[in-house]
């Protein structure tokens, strides 16, 4: 089954594309309208979204699981869309086969190979689906056989075919969801204390430790690049390099402002304070994808500040690199060696410049969407950690998880939240695809 957990608003948006435009429908949390009652199979299990521990009390947080996408495949526009891709795939293979008999530019060959590689998994699923549908037609003839044993066997086979067809349809739609250019890249994680003084710095330290634990949970490599502590043991600012499978694909949703609501240890009257910290997730580009001209850099050295002994404070080990065309700056003084600090500063600089390039490209795409999961920007308030109510709420998808202490361990609960964000983002991509076909049909 193709399953998404989505918001009440998203269900209404999806219904626009699944039902004829001439039909009117209503949708409320208490009852289905006439059209939805006739299409109840499409929107099964409409119920309040589940959360860890107990149900969400706020009715705005109601959700649904949309489990059946049969109507998508019944749409002529969708079938035409698949046919266009199939024709393009076959055309690319034909051109590639004929390239040996004629002079073809290397750039065109790269383009053909790239499109074939991209479309190949999708076409495999489409061809398997067509094969299964032909087998279903052959099997349906056996349902009318005079022999009861053959009819029973045919019914069993039909159930197996239907399961396979549903799985293939899920794979086809998943293959159509575009992946971001940087999804396979390693990342630079940056945390900075925001509003709230020492309490914000303490929260920043807890968040940095949470992500370090999450990296260990995911078996990623976590290397600290910068770490500036406060006087009371909090954290003013820190950066880390994270490398591992699907690192950016998971962590990209964590960028933004995180807010904590709790009674600080220094608060004598028991008042709840609100503090913030900011997370930035920067994609690390591969050398082949992104290069920086050495002429565009100004490299400065200085004496490191802070703890580290006499050697740190008496040698010019700290490095500051400025990218002149953009004005982007990266510094590092974590290591005693100037060479190592220069390498790490360059690593951060490349990630910052590359992320700026990605933001310009993705902002155009996000601005065109009616429902956004978020821009992953530094200024966006994305999540609240409420200690008195022992809950964590992500405001982008209205999802609440209880048990703050366990969440900050950086294991199953954080992984659950990130997975929900990924599923919601995939649902939005499907809706974008439907809307595109809706406007052209």
- Token pair, residue 259, equals 């807010």
Please give the backbone phi and psi of residue 225, each rounded to the nearest 5 degrees, phi first.
-100, -40
Q: Is 269 left (phi over 0), alpha (psi -120 to 50) or beta?
A: alpha
**Cα-Cα-Cα-Cα dihedral of 204, 208, 213, 216, to 10°?**
170
Residue 79: count of CB within 10 angstroms of its CB: 12
Bridge partners, 235 (sequence order): 229
Asked if 39 and 19 touch (Cβ cutoff 8 Å), the reply is: yes
Whole-angstrom distance, CA of residue 373 vs CA of residue 398: 11
- The confidence band for 215, taking pLDDT boundaries of 50, 70 and 90, is very high
Directed axis angle between helix 412-440 and helix 197-217, to 10°? Answer: 80
For the beta sheet containing 4-7, the strands, ordered from the edge strand earlier in sequence to the opposite edge, are 4-7, 62-66, 46-48
Whole-angstrom distance, CA of residue 366 vs CA of residue 373: 9
Asked if 332 and 345 touch (Cβ cutoff 8 Å), the reply is: yes
Q: Say what the pLDDT of residue 73 is.
A: 80
Higher pLDDT, 420 or 441: 420
Average pLDDT, the chain: 77
Residue 96: count of CB within 10 angstroms of its CB: 16
Bridge partners, 279 (sequence order): 191, 256
Could you read off the pLDDT of 365-408 as tens digits, one per residue?
Answer: 444 333 334 444 445 789 999 999 999 999 999 999 999 999 99
Residue 308 in this model has a pLDDT that exceeds 70 = no
Q: Say what the pLDDT of residue 78 is.
A: 80
Q: Which residue do the tokens 């950690």 mark?
A: 385
Residue 11 in this model has a pLDDT that exceeds 90 = no
Bridge partners, 274 (sequence order): 261
Q: Say what the pLDDT of residue 2 is.
A: 42
Angstrom CA distances, 410 to 183, 211, 239, 366, 403, stand at: 21, 6, 17, 28, 12
Q: Say what the pLDDT of residue 95 is.
A: 87
Could you read off the pLDDT of 259-301 as tens digits, one per residue?
Answer: 999 998 877 788 999 999 999 888 877 655 667 888 888 988 8
Whole-angstrom distance, CA of residue 282 vs CA of residue 58: 34
Across the range 227-256, mean pLDDT stands at 90
Whole-angstrom distance, CA of residue 164 vs CA of residue 116: 25
Whole-angstrom distance, CA of residue 302 vs CA of residue 294: 20
pTM: 0.62
Q: Say what the pLDDT of residue 108 is.
A: 84
Number of C-alpha atoms within 13 angstroms, CB side, residue 412?
4
- Token pair, residue 331, equals 């510094």
CATH: 3.40.640.10, 3.40.710.10, 3.40.309.10, 3.30.70.1660. Which one for 186-423? 3.30.70.1660
Residue 62 in this model has a pLDDT that exceeds 50 = no
- Helix and strand element counts for the chain (H, E): 12, 14
- The confidence band for 441, taking pLDDT boundaries of 50, 70 and 90, is low
Across the range 93-101, mean pLDDT stands at 82
């Amino acid at each position: 089954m193709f399953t998404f957990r989505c918001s009440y608003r998203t269900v209404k948006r999806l219904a626009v594309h699944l039902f004829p435009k001439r039909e009117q429908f209503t949708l409320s949390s208490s009852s289905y309208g006439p059209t939805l009652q006739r299409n109840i199979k499409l929107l099964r299990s409409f119920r309040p979204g589940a959360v860890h521990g107990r149900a969400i009390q706020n009715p705005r947080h109601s959700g649904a699981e949309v489990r059946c996408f049969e109507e998508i495949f019944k749409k002529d526009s969708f079938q035409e869309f698949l046919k266009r891709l199939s024709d393009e795939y076959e055309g690319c293979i034909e051109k590639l086969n004929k390239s040996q008999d004629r002079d073809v530019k290397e750039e065109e060959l790269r383009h053909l190979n790239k499109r074939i590689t991209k479309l190949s998994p999708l076409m495999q699923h489409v061809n398997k689906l067509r094969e299964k549908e032909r087998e279903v037609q052959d099997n349906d003839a056996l349902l009318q056989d005079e022999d009861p044993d053959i009819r029973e066997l045919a019914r069993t086979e039909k159930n197996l075919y239907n399961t396979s067809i549903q799985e293939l349809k899920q794979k086809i739609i998943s293959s159509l969801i575009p992946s971001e250019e940087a999804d396979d890249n390693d990342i630079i994680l940056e945390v900075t204390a925001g509003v709230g003084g020492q309490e914000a710095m303490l929260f920043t330290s807890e968040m940095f430790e949470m992500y370090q634990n999450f990296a260990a949970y995911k078996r990623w490599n976590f290397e600290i690049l910068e770490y500036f502590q406060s006087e009371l043991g909090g954290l003013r600012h820190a950066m880390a390099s994270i490398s591992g499978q699907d690192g950016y694909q998971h962590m990209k949703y964590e960028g933004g402002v995180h807010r904590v609501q709790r009674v600080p240890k220094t608060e004598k009257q028991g008042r709840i304070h609100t503090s913030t910290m900011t997370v930035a997730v920067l994609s690390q580009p591969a050398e082949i994808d992104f290069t920086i001209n050495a002429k565009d850099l100004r490299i400065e050295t200085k004496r490191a500040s802070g703890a580290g002994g006499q050697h740190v404070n008496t040698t010019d080990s700290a490095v500051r690199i400025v990218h002149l065309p953009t004005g982007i700056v990266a510094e590092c003084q974590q290591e005693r060696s100037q060479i190592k600090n220069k390498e790490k500063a360059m690593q951060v600089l490349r990630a910052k410049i590359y992320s700026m390039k990605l933001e310009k490209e993705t902002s155009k795409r996000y601005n065109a969407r009616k429902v956004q999961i978020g821009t992953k920007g530094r200024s966006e308030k994305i999540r609240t950690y409420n200690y008195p109510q022992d809950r964590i709420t992500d405001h982008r998808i209205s999802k609440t998880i209880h048990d703050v202490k366990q969440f900050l361990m950086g294991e199953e609960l954080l992984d659950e939240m990130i997975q929900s964000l990924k599923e919601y983002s995939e649902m939005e991509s499907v809706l974008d695809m439907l809307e595109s076909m809706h406007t052209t049909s």
